[in-house]
Structure 1
Amino acid sequence: MGRRDLAELVLLAALWGASFLFMRVAAPVFGPLVLVLVRVGLATLCLLPLVCWRGELRALITHWRPLAVVGLLNSALPFSLFAWAALSLSAGFTAVLNATTPLWGAVVAWLWLATQLPRGKVLGLALGFLGVVVLVWGKISFKPGGDGWAVLAAMLAPVAYGIAANYTKQKLAMASPLVVATGSQLAATLMLLPLAVPLWPEHPISLNAWLAAIALAVVCTALAFLLFFRLIAKVGPGKAIAVTFLIPLFAIVWGGIFLGETLTAAMAAGGGIILLGIALALGLWSPRWLVPAKMD
């Protein structure tokens, strides 16, 4: 990964880390589904003129089926799950759960693409999921007022991301990052319209909520997905998905600065174990004892 790719990865992490902050601000005002419709709808309006200007409108039609799948798995479904979870979970907590995306990406690649799992990757997966257990221990309560369903929603969203990253590499390798970003947001918008429009809030929406929703759409979605699909095309889904390493750090910082959220011991312990597992699973750290000895 070159310096420019690394710089884009850090920028992407900062943008997506901020998305958890904006969801915490806007979701209670708009409602989860309406917020996601605003998010993907405004992102589509930002991206479509670029597609037309570059003469790639025909590609949206050519690739409409896989774009619809990516729109569902990479936007409509996980965005809705995270927006709903944001009603009760902190930005930092949901971002740490989002960090399991590379683990699910590796599992999907193993099950679907028959990608080999060496000892280091298997250990990494095991550690990562152990980190999830540490993180959510005591939070899974389905009693009235409990956060159990919100936690499950935030745990399911990264599964969809993991599937989408591998699907994009397999089915949309020939499409430009702009076409993938635009087509997926357009597809998500069309899917959410009939579900979200009837739920549009009757109460006035505050300026802060609108600003958060616009930032979520333009900066954390339109711009961020251009960067993400560009990275997938250049360095592959396995490395691009490693952006989730940095997202929790930014989300915790943004949440602490703007919402007064604190880093709990469970978040620190669970997040640390998850990130260690991701490092092993992606081959970013390989202890000597895991490397097979060479035969003389």
Structure 2
Amino acid sequence: MTARGWFLFSLMGVIWGIPYLMIKVAVDAVSPPVVVFTRCAVGAALLLPFALRRPGLPATVRAHWRPMLAFALLEIVGPWFTLTDAERHLSSSTAGLLIAGVPIVAVALTRYFGDTERLGTRRVTGLTIGLAGVAVLTVPHLTGGDARSLGEVLLTVLGYATAPLIAARHLKDVHTLHLITPCLTLAALLYTPAAIATWPSSLPSAHVLAALAGLGVICTAVAFVAFLELIKEIGPTRASVITYVNPAVAVAAGSAFLGESLTLGIGVAFALILAGSVLATTAGTSRRTTPVTRSAPRASRPEDHVESA
């Protein structure tokens, strides 16, 4: 991996490890639709001036609206609501650890979408170990109202694993800003009615406002640009490996700022999911017999074209 790739990887490991903390703080005071709307609206407002400075935005949307719509639904519209709603009942640490299953699902989906590389014993073992880690984490929550929340997080995982594949296959020639700005704008518009209907009657506290601002600025506007460039640099499957780092950041932040307990079950689940993800996404010795485009050529720079998720 290049120095640029390592920088983007490290940046994303931290930036997308803290949303779980911010979501937990925000959703305790405002509704999930308000959280998602605010996050999308702030992100879109920040990126729109830069997107408009580049020519061809309307033409790009007209030419690629189908895959862009699919990307928006699977990466933003659906997952951000299900994750936010789930954190009304789950701790930020648990949500962050469950999202670590994204690379495992990404491997399975990549195979489904035509990757001809054999999984091999190592990768199958990794999938099994990772799923065991998810089981260790989820079983204690299968009673009461947590089962629905677990289902919502698993839907989030599925969306997060699928959207990068769509972006890399069908949107690799779309500039980063021309992809993410319309998607965020669409999501904000879709959540506007629900946000208005559930808008808080009084101004939330300063720390809730700070959490909402952080979600919009850092975890959305900055994060998406960095993530799409990371996919361009190393491809969607390898980019999803940032979820190795995200749960550690999520657990540490939840413990430090929210007083969430670090139980033995969390430790075991983290170790299993991490080990399983590493094994499942490690390339085997066999080669693909049919090339599959996952990202644009390295020669393109961020200011030229995105190669996209």
Per-residue displacement from partner, 1:46-73 (whole Å, max 9, x unpaired)? 1111101223423234322221211110
- Alignment-derived partner of residue 52 in structure 1: 52
Distance 1:108 1:205, change over 3 A: same
- Alignment-derived partner of residue 161 in structure 2: 162
Helix, strand or coil at the partner of 2:166: helix
Contact 1:40–1:221 (Cα < 8 Å) also in 2: yes
- Alignment-derived partner of residue 64 in structure 2: 63
Per-residue displacement from partner, 1:61-107 (whole Å, max 9, x unpaired)? 43222212111100111111111111121111100001101111111
Q: What is the one-letter code of the residue matched to 1:257? A: A
Given the two structures, how large is their TM-score scaled by the length of structure 1?
A: 0.91
Alpha-carbon shift at residue 186 of structure 1 (Å): 1.8
- Alignment-derived partner of residue 72 in structure 1: 73
- Alignment-derived partner of residue 126 in structure 1: 128
Q: What is the one-letter code of the residue matched to 2:121? A: R
Alignment RMSD (CA, Å): 1.7
Alpha-carbon shift at residue 204 of structure 1 (Å): 3.0
Q: Distance in 2 between matches of 1:67 and 1:194?
A: 22
Q: What is the one-letter code of the residue matched to 1:13? A: G
Q: Which moved more, 1:128-137 or 1:183-192?
A: 183-192
Alpha-carbon shift at residue 178 of structure 1 (Å): 2.1
Q: What is the one-letter code of the residue matched to 1:21? A: L
Q: What is the one-letter code of the residue matched to 1:282? A: T
Per-residue displacement from partner, 1:235-281 (whole Å, max 9, x unpaired)? 10011111100001111121122112222111111111111111111
Specify which structure has the higher proportion of helix: 1
- Alignment-derived partner of residue 101 in structure 2: 100
Distance 1:247 1:5, change over 3 A: same
- Alignment-derived partner of residue 42 in structure 2: 42
Q: What is the one-letter code of the residue matched to 1:130? A: A
- For 1:1-296, list aligned pairs within 5 A: 1-58=1-58, 59-116=60-117, 117-141=119-143, 143=144, 146-283=145-282
- Alignment-derived partner of residue 306 in structure 2: none
Contact 1:36–1:79 (Cα < 8 Å) also in 2: yes
Helix, strand or coil at the partner of 1:89: coil
Q: Which moved more, 1:189-198 or 1:2-11?
A: 189-198
Q: Distance in 2 between matches of 1:5 and 1:45?
A: 27
Alpha-carbon shift at residue 121 of structure 1 (Å): 1.7
Q: What is the one-letter code of the residue matched to 2:124? A: V
Per-residue displacement from partner, 1:224-244 (whole Å, max 9, x unpaired)? 010111111121001111110
Q: Distance in 2 between matches of 1:5 and 1:65?
A: 29
Q: Distance in 1 between matches of 2:186 and 2:109?
A: 23
Per-residue displacement from partner, 1:271-292 (whole Å, max 9, x unpaired)? 11111111111117x7xxxx79
Per-residue displacement from partner, 1:166-199 (whole Å, max 9, x unpaired)? 1111111111222222222122222222333222
Q: Distance in 1 between matches of 2:223 and 2:116?
A: 28
Alpha-carbon shift at residue 125 of structure 1 (Å): 1.2
Contact 1:95–1:251 (Cα < 8 Å) also in 2: yes
Q: Distance in 2 between matches of 1:118 and 1:197?
A: 51
Q: Distance in 2 between matches of 1:190 and 1:170?
A: 26
Distance 1:257 1:147, change over 3 A: same
Per-residue displacement from partner, 1:19-47 (whole Å, max 9, x unpaired)? 11100100121111111011011111111
Which blocks of at least 5 consecutive residues in structure 2 are unaligned?
287-309
Helix, strand or coil at the partner of 1:201: coil
Q: Distance in 2 between matches of 1:160 and 1:48?
A: 24
Contact 1:67–1:187 (Cα < 8 Å) also in 2: no
